[in-house]
Chains A and B, each alone.
Chain A
Amino acid sequence: MNPVIELQDVKKIYQMNGVITPALRGVNLQIAKGEFLAIMGPSGSGKSTLLHMIGALDKPTEGKIILDGVDISTLKESALARLRGRKIGFVFQFFNLHPTLTAVENIELPMMIAEADKKERQRKALELLRSVNMEHRARHLPSQLSGGEQQRIAIARALANDPEIILADELTGNLDSKTKAEIMQFLLRLQQERKMTVTIITHEPEIAAYAETVIRIVDGRIAQGGS
């Protein structure tokens, strides 16, 4: 197996006003290409921190993160930005949409950042908008959308640049069970049809059930599953 994501003894220690918080205490993990992985664990155990490390949003205090065979600590800022923009699609716990751009513009934003052709990115944004059944809300600002609608826009945005890896942090947090199921089916299709590598964080066993592999993080360490 050739892992697309590999973590070697990753540690993250936050230090704020002299208070030292070890969030990750040495994580070893391999995620295969096309794998559907769910991360579970109690609140404050370090799940989000781990996902941020994988997504190159933050740097580990110690250890290595290897994406597609490249140790990302060797990459420069601009190369990291490129990686975040094109290889990874992030869906955050709090959606994190651009507040003054419309729904369709939010989906267009990663393609704008990646300097895609304007016509092409508008076409694709509409296509993605349709695929999450949100075409009737194209011109709405995030503040004019419900939580579930914002979530769907966030997912569409994560797919804009055809990333290899989808990272999602509690994406079904406050949704009703019908919407949850829809979104999970959607992710499952992406993984199966487009061979995307999907990693999600969840508290809910029924969501984790969609994944092929489930790992549990407790107190900054993998307590169960993983490698």
Chain B
Amino acid sequence: MKLADIVRLSLNSLTHRGLRSWLTILGIIIGVAAVIAMLSIGAGMSQNVQSRLSGFGADIITVSAGSTRAFGSGGTFTDRFQPGEPPFGQSSSNQSSSSTTSPTLTNTDLTAILSADGVEATTGIISGRTSVSYLSQSVTITVEGVDPSVWNTMTTSTVASGRLLESGDGMSVLIGSSVASGMFDQNITVDSPMLISGKTFTVVGVLKESGTGGFGGDDRTVFLTMDAARNILTSIDPSVFTSIQVKATSTDTVDATITSVTNALYASRQVTSDTKDFTVTSPTSMLATITSTMQTMTFFLTGIAAVSLLVGAIGIANTMFMSVMERTRLIGILKSLGTKNSEIMKLFVMESGIIGLMGGLLGVFLGFIVVGIISEIGFNLMGLGVRMAGGTSTSVAVVTPQLVVFALAFSTIIGIVSGLIPARKAASLQIVEAMRSE
């Protein structure tokens, strides 16, 4: 029998079994859709994190006070994303709430870091959240005090309009793209006046969107010179920095620089790795930790989805066994008309393969819908604050063409494998006996 005719006969049998074929296919649809959704969300999240973190320079190391080993050698989630507001919209008071007993970063640390190997420049930063008004509308925003002479050489941000801060600026502010448009009802442009803690500042520059908005990067931040910021963030001790930014001499030696900075701080702060009271991180190390955490999660969720796919496969095998039993007589007829055993096998395997392929196709389709819904909900749920519209949006879930191809191939293989044993049983039936059955 020719392949085309085997396909034709298989389709004939599937369509004549109507609802039962569809129910079997449904088992695969659900499994494939679940796997697609889980893998896509995993891929989307890691892409998301990567694009967000790419806003930070790869050669910039952040030192913050306090230490926790919850995430291995690095700091906590919140530590990692300083400066700025913490991720996932937590209320942010950790930067400004350093009590007297908490470890702090001071000029001593700055000096120690500067003398460490592989350090090109370093600067202290203070940040906190405070009320900012524009045209009588008030919003609580992260305010950051920086030293423009050093900060300007370190930042990866560029201005969309106006200029960066300069050392002499007293009452000038530089604002992130989201501050300029989005956070206030009215868009803010260069030369506009803004009221911060009752004092009037003039906007001298607006930064381009960096994509790091959600994790408290530059987009949702107002930058001031250090002196101006100290006047506003009065809860921060005048000798204390919220964090210290370190620029490594080369992106290739960031890891070595992290080590030398850490050792320099051990010496100057007179602590050991056991009593460590500070955290040194780089975007790369953050990325690695977050990515591996997310991979574990994706792996786990996909595993659960895979179980439903397995149930679907058992469904196919079951249907095919039933189908062989019901069509015992037909198998006898086909053989009596000259069909070879191998062709009987092919017929049944083709049938289960088609069930698998159909399940895969529709499952991918359903997966797309689920991914779409989750993306929509995800933005709100996770508070990632990224808009769907526009070319600059970041997805929560990504369905790659490879994933689609893989899903189709995999579901087809599942179909074929589940059909093998029933098909073998069909092929081995004795003709006369088979034709006698009802």
Contacts and interface: CB of A to CB of B under 8 A. Distances in A.
Given A58-B432, A98-B330, A84 B342 contact: no
B430 A58 contact: yes
B5 A112 contact: yes
Given A115-B1, A115-B2, A85 B431 contact: no
B70 interface: no
Interface residues of A, number: 28
B1 A113 contact: yes
A77 interface: yes
A225 interface: no
A174 interface: no
B339 interface: yes
A109 B12 contact: no
B72 interface: no
A36 interface: no
Contacts of B12: 100-101
Nearest to B339: A113
B435 interface: yes
B340 interface: yes
B337 A85 contact: yes
Interface in B348-383: none
Contacts of A138: none
Contact of B432 (A52, A83, A98): A52
Contact of B1 (A57, A100, A112): A112
Contact of A113 (B330, B332, B334, B341): B334
Interface string A60-94: 00000000000000000110011111100010100
Contacts of B337: 84-85, 90, 109-110, 113, 157
B220 interface: no
B346 to A, nearest CB: 12
Nearest to A160: B337
A143 to B, nearest CB: 11
B338 A85 contact: yes
A57 B5 contact: no
Given A57-B431, A96-B435, A98-B333, A81 B340 contact: yes
Contacts of A110: 337-338
A135 B333 CA distance: 23
B340 A90 contact: no
Interface in B321-336: 329-330, 332-336
Contacts of A109: 334, 337
Given A58-B430, A58-B432, A84 B336 contact: yes
A13 interface: no
Contacts of B341: 77-78, 81
B16 interface: yes
Given A57-B336, A90-B336, A115-B1, 5 more contacts: A78-B342, A83-B338, A112-B9, A115-B2, A157-B337
Sort A-B residue pairs by CB-CB distance and give the 6 closest, nearest first: A85-B338, A100-B16, A81-B340, A57-B431, A58-B432, A110-B337
